[in-house]
Chains A and B, each alone.
Chain A
Amino acid sequence: MPEPIPTTLPAQELAVRTRGLTKRYGRVAAVTGLDLTVPEGAFYLLLGPNGAGKTTTFRMLMGNLRPTSGSAEVAGVTASPAGQVRVRMGFVPEHQDGPYGWMRTGDLIRHHAGYFPAWNDAYARRLADAFELRPEVRYGKLSKGQARRVQLLMALAHTPPVLLLDEPTDGLDPVARDTVQAILAEHLAGYPTTVIVATHLVYEMERFADYVGVLGAGRLVAQMERATLQAQLRRYVLDVAEDWHPPLEAELPLLRQNGTPRERRWTIWGPEEEVTRRLSAAGARVRSVSALNLDEAALALLSRKENR
C-alpha cells in the first residue's frame, strides 16, 4: 500500500510559495530545498524543534536574508532585500530586541506606521486598548509579553494579506495569551489573511491551524492539510504474542513504537481500515485506535526521519 507522507499540496491559489529555498552558512545547511506551499487564506502551522530552520525561513520570506539558492514568493511578489514584499506582510519576530529600546512605545508604533500605506489608525487604537498597552513607556523597558503585544499590534494594524508569526505566544501570561487568541480569531473573521505561524508551543496555536508543515533539520518532513494528518495518522494499541513478528515497514509505515512486548502502541501512517486489516492479518488484535494531537503527530513525523 502505503501512500507516502505528503510534502506537497495539490495545485491551488497560493499566498506563499518557495522553490528549492536553501540557506547555507559555509558548510552548514540551515534550510535545504524547501518547497513551502501555503494556500490563500490558510492558517499554516510550521512546526519543528529549535534549530530546525523556522526563523531562517521567515527571514528569507521577509527578504531580510538572501537565500543561497532557490526563491520565495509572497502574495505574488518575489522576496528580496529591496523591500516591496514587506508592506504585504505583518511580521512578529521571535526576538524582540532591536535598536528601538530608547523609543516610547507610542512613538515606535507611529514610526512603524509610516512604512505602511495601509495602516489603519482606528484599528491600531482598538488593539492598543485590548492589549492594555502604555504608549508612554520606553519599548526597551517592556516585559517580553508586553513587547510581544506591541509587535502583534504593529503586524495586524495594516491588515496585511500575509502574517508571519514567529513564536507569537512566547512569554505571554495566560490572560494575555487568551486575549491574543481572541484578537486573532476576530482579525481572521474581519480581514482575509493568510497566516504562517512558526512555533514549538503547538498547543496555543493548533486551535486555528488548517494546514501543517513539519520541519526537521532544515527539511520539510511533511506538509499537508491538517484534516489529512488527523485522518491518516493514528495510534494503534495491539495485543500480540511476545514473539510476534510484525509486518514489514514497507507494508506498514510505522512512525513510532512503544508499549510493552504484549501490548504495543504503534503510530502508523495510512487509512485506518486498511492498517487495521493488515495488522489483524498479521495476527495482532487491535484493541483501540486513536487520533493524535498536533504535538504528538509532529513528534511522530520527526522521529521517523531520525530512524532512517
Chain B
Amino acid sequence: MPFDIDHSDSRPIYVQIMDEIRRGIVVGAWRPEEPLPSVRQLAVELRVNPRTVQQAYGELERDGVLYVRRGQGTFVAARANGADRQALLQEVARRLLHEAYRHGFDVDELTAALQREANQPDNTQEA
C-alpha cells in the first residue's frame, strides 16, 4: 500500500489521497514521469470507492501534478516541485498553529517552543 487513509481524519478521503500523493512527490517517493497505480488498484488497496480515487486524480491532473497518457495510465508530471514543497510547509504550519490555538497558545509562544525543541540534543537530526 502506498499510504494509509485515516478515517478519523476530518479531511475528506479524496483530499487525503491528494495530500498523500503531493507529499510523496515532495519527499521523492514518487518521481517525475513515474506511473501511479490505476484507479482500480488504488481503490482496492485503500479499500475506498473508486469514484473517490478518480476525483483525487482528476483534481491533481487539473492542478498539473499528474497527467494522463491515453491507454497507459496516470503519471507524475515533470515539473519542479518547489511550489508544492512551499505549499506543504504552509499546511504543516497551519495545522501546528491550529493545534496551538486550541491549547490556548499564541504564535510567538509556539515559535519559541519550536526553537527550544529543535535545540534539544536528541532532536538535532530532525532539525
Which A residues have a C-beta under 8 Å from some C-beta of B? Answer: 41, 43, 178, 181-182, 184-186, 188-190, 203, 206-210, 227, 230, 237, 287-288, 290-293
Chain A min CB distance to B40 (Å):
4
Chain B min CB distance to A127 (Å):
14
Partner of A185, one of B8, B50, B98, B104: B50
Q: Which residues of A contact B51 (CB under 8 A)?
A: 41, 43, 188, 210
User: Given the known A-B contacts A189-B39, A207-B5, A227-B12, are A43 and B49 also in contact in the complex, defined by CB atoms under 8 Å?
Assistant: yes
Flag B98-126 by CB within 8 Å of A: 1 or 0 each: 10011010000000000000000000000
A207 touches B49 (CB 8 A): yes
A188 touches B49 (CB 8 A): yes
A181 touches B12 (CB 8 A): no
Closest 3 CB pairs of A and B: A291-B10, A189-B40, A181-B47
Q: Which residues of A contact B36 (CB under 8 A)?
A: none
Docked Cα-Cα span, A76 to B101, in Å, equals 53
Closest to B102 in A: A288
B43 touches A185 (CB 8 A): yes
Which B residues have a C-beta under 8 Å from some C-beta of A? Answer: 5, 7-8, 10-13, 39-40, 43-44, 46-52, 98, 101-102, 104
Q: Which residues of A contact B48 (CB under 8 A)?
A: 185, 207-208
Chain B min CB distance to A280 (Å):
14
Q: Which residues of A contact B7 (CB under 8 A)?
A: 203, 206-207, 293
Chain A min CB distance to B19 (Å):
15
Closest to A179 in B: B47
Q: Which residues of B contact A188 (CB under 8 A)?
A: 43, 49-51
User: Given the known A-B contacts A182-B44, A186-B44, are A287 and B49 also in contact in the complex, defined by CB atoms under 8 Å?
Assistant: no
Q: Which residues of B contact A210 (CB under 8 A)?
A: 49, 51-52
B101 touches A189 (CB 8 A): no
Q: Which residues of B contact A290 (CB under 8 A)?
A: 10
Q: Would you give 21 A-B contacts (Cβ < 8 Å), ordered by A?
A: A181-B47, A185-B43, A185-B46, A185-B49, A188-B51, A189-B40, A189-B43, A189-B44, A190-B40, A203-B7, A206-B7, A207-B7, A207-B49, A208-B49, A210-B51, A230-B12, A287-B104, A288-B98, A290-B10, A292-B10, A293-B7
The residue among A41, A190, A210, A292 with the most chain B CB atoms within 10 A of its own CB is A210
Chain B min CB distance to A252 (Å):
21
Chain B min CB distance to A194 (Å):
12
